[in-house]
Homo-oligomer: A and B are copies of this chain.
Amino acid sequence: MLAYELHNEPDFAALTRVERPSPPLSPHDVRVRVRAVSLNYRDLNIARSMQRRPKGRPVVPASDGAGEVVEIGSAVSRLATGDRVAALFFPDWHDGELTAVYHTRALGGTCDGMLAEEVVLDERAWVRLPAHLSYEEGATLPCAGVTAWNALFESAGVGPGSTVLVQGTGGVSIFALQLAKAAGAQVVVTSKSDAKRARARQMGADHVIDYVATPKWGDDARAWTGGRGVDVVVEVGGPGTFDQSVAALRHAGTMSLLGVLTGLSGEVNTYGLFQKGLHVCGIYVGSGRMFEALNRALSTNTIHPVIDRVFGFDQVRAAYEHLASGTHFGKVVIRVS
């Protein structure tokens, strides 16, 4: 089968198409013909940084993919051939809280990922796709969709009448916009692009802020709520946006912290956190149970993930470059087969 591997080259030139043998199948394993893969910001970092890859062997990149079950092991009871499935970002995290051991197997990072024609994983590492989604749409769920779910409904309790602020219009933020609107919440979106703000409006955003024109966008968001503050911020920026998120939040509100767009560390206002009695929840994707809850939410509300552009399996570097350009709105997808 064909697959991409990250080889010892600078930047996206590391992405190398190779022929690999079909992986073997143990009794509890399920073999999936991958149909589509979607990219995340994390995939850019791993492609660019050799430190973040396993040592001594090339790794197949990309955590997020969907496909069709083509073979099942002798002990498999939960899936059948023909099932349409996506893989868990952490194949071993089925339920409960994050533990250190799950990090030892993360698709496209500490173990081989989805950018391949075939992937074999334990039956519990797969979840069925919602029936109304295509493979391209399903491929966007494992990281961005599950992260947005976790940020809104596991780490916080977003519901009707809640107010949620999302930063920008990347994959997680757009999922969060869609899910929060489906939950009956109000949503504030920040973006420096007129066109993206307009599109966010069309998707239901109740208030949009140009964060370049309004550097104190946190104060603006709080003022828009009548001074009370927003209930939840989906914090994808990290240290560079942290303090305005603190400013935006109501007392006892929740910052769902999941991104590094502005860096791994930086100066932040820790006093504000306790003066307001805030909760900061670090979010690293989520469990299989959360993925299934996300799928029920998407099905019940007929939500379609927003796909920015679909690339072919021979356009992988172009897909990475497009995501790196930051011009996208929603998800960047690669059709595999």
Q: Does A251 contact B (CB under 8 A)?
A: yes
Alpha-carbon distance between A34 and B199 when the two chains are bound, in angstroms: 45
| Stoichiometry (number of copies) | 4
Q: Does A239 contact B (CB under 8 A)?
A: yes
- Of A16-24, A113-121, A276-284, A321-329, the stretch lying at the interface with chain B is A276-284
Q: Does A85 contact B (CB under 8 A)?
A: no
A250: chain B residues within 8 A (beta carbon): 100
Task: Tell me the smallest distance from the CB of A94 to a CB of chain B, in Å.
Answer: 7
Which interface class (under 10, 10 to 19, 20 to 34, 35 or more) fits A? 35 or more
Query: A300 touching B160 by the CB < 8 A rule?
Result: yes
Query: B279 touching A159 by the CB < 8 A rule?
Result: no
Q: Given A276-B282, A297-B161, check contact A265 B269 (CB 8 Å).
A: yes
Alpha-carbon distance between A272 and B103 when the two chains are bound, in angstroms: 13
Closest to A104 in B: B77
Q: Pick the contact of A264 from B103, B184, B266, B269 — CB < 8 Å?
A: B269
A183: chain B residues within 8 A (beta carbon): 159-160, 183-184
Q: Given A26-B27, A300-B184, check contact A98 B157 (CB 8 Å).
A: no
- Of A56-64, A135-143, A211-219, A252-260, the stretch lying at the interface with chain B is A252-260
Alpha-carbon distance between A186 and B283 when the two chains are bound, in angstroms: 27
Query: A179 touching B160 by the CB < 8 A rule?
Result: yes
Q: Does A238 contact B (CB under 8 A)?
A: yes
Q: Pick the contact of A238 from B179, B270, B300 — CB < 8 Å?
A: B270
Q: Given A94-B96, A279-B279, check contact A158 B161 (CB 8 Å).
A: no
Alpha-carbon distance between A99 and B250 when the two chains are bound, in angstroms: 8
Query: A94 touching B97 by the CB < 8 A rule?
Result: no
Central interface residue in A277, A280, A287, A301, by most chain B CB within 10 Å: A277
Alpha-carbon distance between A229 and B97 when the two chains are bound, in angstroms: 14
Q: Does A273 contact B (CB under 8 A)?
A: yes
Give 1 or 0 for each of A158-183: 1 = CB within 8 Å of chain B CB: 11111000000000000000010011
Closest to A296 in B: B161
A265: chain B residues within 8 A (beta carbon): 243, 267-271
Among residues 274 to 319 in chain A, which have CB atoms less than 8 Å away from a CB atom of chain B? Answer: 274-284, 287, 289, 293-301
The 6 closest A-B pairs by CB, nearest first: A95-B96, A161-B296, A161-B297, A160-B297, A274-B282, A98-B277
Can you list 7 A-B pairs with a CB-CB distance of less than 8 A? A97-B252, A103-B275, A159-B183, A160-B300, A265-B271, A277-B281, A277-B284
Given contacts A183-B183, A265-B269, A276-B284, 15 further A-B contacts (CB under 8 A): A96-B96, A96-B287, A97-B252, A161-B295, A161-B299, A184-B184, A186-B300, A257-B273, A257-B274, A258-B274, A263-B270, A273-B280, A274-B282, A274-B284, A279-B281
